[in-house]
Each structure stands twice: as C-alpha cells, then as structure tokens.
Amino acid sequence: MRAFRFRPLKAALGACAVLSAMISAAWAQEDVESRVSRLLATMTLEEKVGQLNLISHGPPLRWADIQEGRSGALLNFNNAQDVARAQALARQSRLKIPPLFGLDIVHGFRTQFPVPLGEAAAFNPRLSRLAAEWAGREASYVGVNWTFAPMADLSRDSRWGRIVEGFGEDPYLGSVLTAARVEGFRAGGLATATKHFAGYGAPQGGRDYDTTYIPPAEMYDTYLPPFRAALNAGSMSFMAAFNALNGVPSAANPWLLTEVLRDQWGFDGFVTSDWASIQELLGHGIAADGAEASRKALLAGVDMDMMGQLYIKHVPTEVRAGRIPEAVVDEAVRRVLRTKVRLGLFEKPDIDPTRVDSIFPTAESRQAAREVARETMVLLKNRDAVLPIAPTTRSIAVIGPLANAPRDQIGPHGARGHQEDSVSILTGVRDRAQRAGIAVRQADGCDLMCRTTDQLPAALAVARESDLVIAVFGEPQELSGEAASRAHLTLSGKQAEILEALAATGKPVVLVIIGGRPLELGKLADTLPAILMAWYPGTEAGTAVADILFGDANPSGKLPLSWPRTIGQLPLYYNRLPTGRPTLENNRFTLNYIDEAISPLYPFGWGLSYSAFAYSDATIGQANLSAGDQLEASVTLTNGSDRAGQEVAQLYIRDPIATRSRPLRQLKAFEKILLQPGESRRVTLRVPVTDLGFHLDDGTYVIEEGAIQVFVGGNANAPAIGEARIRETTRIPFNQRRAGLPLSTAQ
C-alpha cells in the first residue's frame, strides 16, 4: 500500500519539476511575441473572443464550446478526469489552443495549510513560499495550472470576512508575503491571479462588496504595494475587484487597470474580472446593458470575462459596429496567449486522467502543513506560565465544539480539502497527552453555533475532574470568508457564557481560538490565564496545536493586525496618522473614546513565546543618508530562557516632519531569528532609503530630506532607538517610475 502511494507521489513531484523547468524555459524564449503574433493572425474574431471567455465547470458550460474555441479558460475544474476531457476537446478545436484551468487554491489543494491571515502571523516568507508551493504541486498534479490567489488586499477592518484570505493591515508585511506566495505557487506549477485589484479590503462598514473610498496617495502608499510586489515576483495575471473605488467600479477602472498596472508598472500579462463582475457593472449603475458593460470593462483593461458570458455575446458585434477597436481585442488576446506560452501550455502533454488527488496528503505534505501551522499560532496571553502544559499535569479537559470539527479547522476556501484527512485538535491533544500519561476527558460544551447552554453542566463536570481545561472556541468556518461580513465580533452564541462558567470552576482555562479574524474577548481577556490564537490551522491542526500546548514547539507567531477591544474601534491599525490632539488621559478633547480605551487589546506584531527575549544596545548605522543608501539598525537580541525559541525582530520608522502628515509608525523590516537557550546575537535590519518616501495624490514619489525616527523591538510599540537623516529630497514623477519603483516591495 505504501509503495503504491509512493510512486504516484514521486511522479507528481517529478512532473512539477518538469513543469517548473518548462515555465522557465518558456520564459526564456525570445520568440514568445512572434509566436503569439503568428497565432493571432490566424484567428477569427470569434476565436479571439473565445480566449477571453472564462467559464466554470457546471452550468452554463457547454463542453462543445471548448471544441469550438469559445472557452479559452475554465474554472472550478478540480480533477484530472475533467481536465483531461477539456484538454482533449481543446485539441480537437481548429487552433488547438490549450485552456487555462483556474481554481481558488488559497491555502492548500488537498493538504490544507493555515488560512493566509494565520500564515501571515508566522512572519516567515520561507513558510509562505513552502505552503504555496505545496498547494501548487498538488493542484498541478491533477492539471490545474492557474490559481485565483494570492489575495493581496490589505484590510484594517475585521468585520470584513475576507480579511482571512489576506495578510492583515500592513503594506510591508503584505508585500513580502504576497511576493513569497506568488513565488511558491509558481514553483509548484501554477500561474497566479493576484486579487482583487484594488482596494477591495476597505469596504465601507466592513461590508463585503461595498464601496471603497481611498485617496490616490493612500492607494499608492498602502493598498497597491502588495500588488506591485506580486508583479515583481512574477504574477502572470491579476483579478479586478468587485467593488467601486472612489466611485469607479474596479471592473471598469482605466486608472487602475491601464494607467497604474500597465502604463506605470509595465505589466504585460492579463487581467480577469471577478465572478460576473462585468455583468455587475449594471448593478453599479454605470452600464445600461451587457454591451455597454463589455465595452467599458474591455476598454478599461479587463481582458477576461469570468462567468459573465458578456464578452462572448457582445464583443464581436461591438467590434463590427466600430464601438470597440479590434486592436483592443487583439491586445487582450495577446496578453492571454502570451501567458499560455510563458506557462509552457502548448508543449505540455495532456494530463493523465487516472491521476487522483487522494495520493495527498503525504507524510511530507503533512509535515510541511504542521510546520507552517505551528509557526502561525499567536500566544496572546500566558499568565503564570500556564503554558506549556506542566509535566505534573495528570488530567486535561478538552472542551468546545471546535476541538472536534475536522471541516471547520480547514477554514473557508478549502479547495479539495477533505475533512477525513484532518487531525482534530482533540485527537492531537489526546495522542500527545497519552504519550505523557495524561488523561484526557472531553465535552463539546455546545454545538458549533453554540446556541444553548444545555450541554454546559456536562462540560463543567468534566472541567472539575481535570487539572487543566483546554477550551477550543471561536468561529465555525461559515462565519468567515467571502460574504461573511459580521456586525458583531463577540464570541458567537453562548460561547462567552460557557467560558466564564469554565473559568469560575477555578481550573486554569487555556482558550484556543479558531477563526479567521480577531474576536471581541471582553472580560475573558482578563479572566482567562492563557489565550492562543490558532486561526484555521488546516489538516494538521491537532498535531500543531498539541505541539504548541505541550511545548514541543515554541510559539513564535505575531499578530498581522491590531486586535481590537471592541468592534466600535474599527477600522483599527497601528500605522495611522498622528493628530493635532494626541491621546491624553483625563483630557477628553484629545484622541479618545469616552467609553473605551483608544489602544488595541493587543498591538500589531504582538505574540508571546515560552522563551524570554531581550533587546539591548540598539544602534543606528550611518546617520546621514542619501537616496542610494540603506538605513541600518543593529540590536543585540538575547534569549534569556532555557528554551530555544524564535523572535521576530521588527523595525519601524517615522518621518516626524514632512510636507504630508506621515504615519506614527511604519514597519519597514523584520527578521525571524532562532536563538538557543541563553544565546545572544547581533541582528542588523536594513531599509533602502528609497523605501522611506511617500506618494502625493498625483503619483509623484517623494523621499524628503530630514529626520527619520527608528524603533526596534518585538511589536508595534517598540521603543525608539534613535534617528537618521536623509540628506536631500528626491522626487520621482508618476510617469518616470516604470523601472524599479521601490514602494516597499519584497526583499
């Protein structure tokens, strides 16, 4: 059985290596353009528009359309049999152009890795790359060649359910991780559609699909850099967002799709719409009918129509009527064909239809998923060193519906994840406890939505009989993801009541939170001695959580967003602008709430370890800097504990006097460092001076002369360590920045 499983895996990985080699070979070809031109010259208008039609498996797909050259790209094909059938039909078409097969592979294909927001908490681009590469390997094994990921939408509002798909609130962290994800997917054999271009993560009220108002300078400084990093990392396509940005829907926004993405950044791949979002231009009230919607979208720069069927229906007529120049269609088709050539699709043999994804997860993919998951966990609180579980512990109560929720631990966008593959938290803890001779008792406490306290007495009985309670609560996965905006961020149903009752037993209660966003903890943040944010950890949730709870792994996750005390603080983010009235206690006429603290419950970058890290002897390198220099800060990091552990050293800056008000803090560099017990290390963090500037609304990038304050430490409240000075002002106008634009892009 083992040998049987092993062989297809080897073949899978071999195929991936071949595919990667083909991708690079294809990239190196100088004749991509002439090849595309030759093909384009032989195409009818209908065949051209067919390349711009992206259609999903299931109705209204007509399989014959593939053979007739009317569907150049397909989505939701998730198995080799269907892919092979479509490939065979494409081969029977007149021009035999291979289709793209796109799918939402967001955090794993069959083996489920932690959701992206959790993965961001690892502050570890190597692991982001690894997770994406595994997802790519598994998906491309069954013929998928394009993922609708990564999501590069920065968000500062946890009401928005899709915050789970991104990297949180910081443009620098977002740029580094988005680039790593693009690279990982590519190494795994997938082209990426980085989404949702752009500004989708700041909808009013946190309501998915709602409108966004972001001034241009803020777009350039905050929302666009992760997309730019994706492009630099080789993202072959982008997906336009659903919503309107400053009154112009992204699916018909020439500023975003042409001026910024093409003209300024020089992107030559293609842009797809989101699901039926060209059709939705009617809903936005900027098109009277499908023909007008098609015209506006295509002319703005949306090359491919996902599930609208509008291009295929209207574009040929619009071209023949002279309302869309054929050259615009040609350019869109060229972008799609260029991508297919670069991906090596024309050379690639069709997929073997007998391939199945059930060869995954393998021991190796599980190990990778476990490694990533344990680095994503953020230890928010650990009073009296309740964790790691003491060797003297004799019995543990595992309580909460999410302890045994194999589907929910995967989180939204589970691709081909099977709950049968999941190691539940209950199983993980029980297995580990058994090895240590610790008894485990279990009670659900309530069902997933926790609507009643009917099961509380049984849970309390179990708690009272045990030395320690591990309470696993949070958000069932249906409360997170697309179309899962929340107007309340309290623990759902009766969860808080149950947790309070558990705490009242006097037993130490460790809360493990499963979920896709920070939740309002209320007084539980004080009452409970230990809180671990585990996000949706994926297939290996149980082993990874057990690794952390028992101290087999040392927590090293850091919050990729500010954790609010209450929903009324949202949007909340550390890198906000100063005000003329900074917060003063006892002065209500300063930046304050009269009924809540102004600070987050836990700041950005926060996360505890079982080790104790100290920062000392911080120094700044060269004090006077020119545009070509790097700002350098060095610090000695010491692990004063008897446990090896990893710390994320973070460098923040502030430009205190500038022509525009600049953020109080901005993360500009970080490094995750492993230190042995008692070890000290000198760490140097570097920031190119070109990353210290900011934008004006017209797109001009300015690096201003003057002081830059520097802060180094383990979270966004890091102490000031000194100042450097930029010698002279450099201004780069919008239209001169095509090559090598800095913009906090990935290292």
Cβ closest to ligand BGC, residue 412 vs residue 603: 412
Among 211, 234, 275, 326, binds ligand BGC (CB under 6 A): 275
Nearest CB to ligand BGC, comparing residues 210 and 482: 482
Choice between 255 and 275, CB closer to ligand BGC:
275
Residues in the chain: 747
> Shortest approach of ligand BGC to residue 369 CB, angstroms?
22
CA dist., res. 621 & res. 427, Å (int):
51
* Cβ proximity of 399 and 406 under 8 Å: no
Task: Tell me if the bond preceding 321 is cis, omega within 30° of 0.
Answer: no
- Cα-flanking dihedrals φ and ψ of residue 398, to 5°? -100, 115
Within 8 A by CB and 6+ apart from 294, the residues are 278, 305, 310, 311, 313, 314, 315, 318, 324
| Min dist. Cβ of residue 615 to ligand BGC (A) | 40
Exposure class string for 214-231: b at 16+ Cβ within 10 A, else e: bebbbbbbbbbbbbbbbb
Distance of alpha carbon 536 from alpha carbon 515, whole angstroms: 6
- How near is the Cβ of 487 to ligand BGC at its closest, in Å? 21
Q: Which is nearer to ligand BGC, 104 or 133 (CB)?
A: 104
Does the CA dihedral 565-571-576-581 come out positive or negative? negative
- Is 274 a binding residue for ligand BGC by CB under 6 A? The answer is yes
User: Minimum CB separation from ligand BGC for residue 312, in Å?
Assistant: 18
Q: Could you give the CA distance from residue 434 to residue 228 in angstroms, rounded to a whole number?
A: 49
How near is the Cβ of 149 to ligand BGC at its closest, in Å? 8
In the complex, residue closest to ligand BGC by CB:
148
Active site residues per annotation: 274
Residue 194 · residue 270 · CB < 8 Å: no
Continuous segment of H or E residues that includes residue 637: strand 630-639
Return the number of other C-beta atoms located less than 10 Å from residue 379's C-beta. 23
Smallest distance from the beta carbon of 321 to ligand BGC, in angstroms?
Answer: 31
Answer yes or no whether residue 104 interacts with ligand BGC by CB under 6 A.
yes
Distance of CA 36 to the CA centre of its chain: 33
Going by the DSSP 8-state scheme, the letter that residue 596 receives in this structure is S
Phi, psi of 593, rounded to the nearest 5 degrees: -100, 145
The nearest distance, CB 478 to ligand BGC, in angstroms, is 15
x-or-dash string of contact with ligand BGC, 129-148, rule CB under 6 A: -------------------x
CB of 209 to ligand BGC, least distance (A): 9
Q: Which amino acid is at 473?
A: F
Nearer to ligand BGC, 102 or 508 (CB): 102
Beta bridge mates, 102: 75, 146
For residue 641, how many C-alpha atoms fall within 13 Å in the half-sphere facing its CB? 15
In the bound state with ligand BGC, the residue whose beta carbon lies nearer, of 43 and 415, is: 415
CB atoms within 10 A of CB 659: 12
Q: Which is nearer to ligand BGC, 413 or 486 (CB)?
A: 413
Check if the beta carbon of residue 60 is closer than 8 Å to that of residue 42.
no
Give the residue with the Cβ less far from ligand BGC, 227 or 473. 227
Q: Name the burial class of residue 54, with classes exposed (0-12), middle (13-18) and buried (19+) by CB atoms within 10 angstroms of its CB.
A: buried
Q: Which two tokens stand for residue 100?
A: 């793209």
Cα gap 86→350, rounded to integer Å: 10
- Contact status, residue 536 vs residue 115, Cβ threshold 8 Å: yes
Distance CA 38, CA 135 (A): 35
- Going by DSSP bridges, is the β-strand pair 530-533/509-514 parallel, antiparallel, or unpaired? parallel
Indicate whether 153 belongs to the interface with ligand BGC (CB under 6 A): no
Q: Does 207 bind ligand BGC (CB under 6 A)?
A: no
DSSP 3-state helix, strand, coil percentages of the chain (rounded to 5)? 35, 20, 45
Per the CB < 8 A criterion, the answer to whether 119 and 97 are in contact is no
CB of 638 to ligand BGC, least distance (A): 44
Hey, which residues between 392 and 451 contact ligand BGC (CB under 6 A)?
none
Collapsed DSSP state (helix, strand, coil) of residue 652? strand
Q: Where are any strands of DSSP class E within 298-446?
A: 305-306, 378-382, 395-399, 439-443
Q: How far is the CB of 104 from ligand BGC (least distance, A)?
A: 5
Rounded-to-integer distance, Cα 245 and Cα 25, Å: 38
Q: Residue 267 region, left (φ>0) first, then alpha (ψ -120 to 50), else beta?
A: beta
Given candidates 478, 482, 671, 723, which one binds ligand BGC under the rule CB under 6 A? 482
Residue 736, CA distances (Å) to 211, 216, 701, 733, 740 in order: 31, 17, 10, 6, 10
CA neighbor of 12 nearest in space, from 355, 367, 485 = 355
Give CA–CA dist 410/113, Å, rounded. 8
Q: Which is nearer to ligand BGC, 148 or 311 (CB)?
A: 148
Question: Rounded distance, CA 23 to CA 270, Å?
Answer: 17
Strand pairing of 706-713 and 613-620?
A: unpaired
Residue 268 touching ligand BGC (CB under 6 A) = no
Q: Pick the closer one to ligand BGC by CB: 412 or 699.
A: 412
Of 148 and 652, CB closest to ligand BGC: 148
The CB-of-700 to ligand BGC minimum distance in angstroms stands at: 32
Q: What gap in Å lies between CA 430 and CA 395, rounded to an integer?
A: 11
Residue with tokens 């525009």: 660
| Cα dihedral sign, 67-70-75-76 | negative
Q: How far is the CB of 148 from ligand BGC (least distance, A)?
A: 3
Size of the site for ligand BGC (CB under 6 A): 6
What is the closest distance, in whole angstroms, from the C-beta atom of residue 274 to ligand BGC in the complex?
5
Using CB under 6 A as the binding rule, the residues of this chain from 176 to 195 that contact ligand BGC are 195
Q: Which residues bind ligand BGC (CB under 6 A)?
A: 104, 148, 195, 274-275, 482
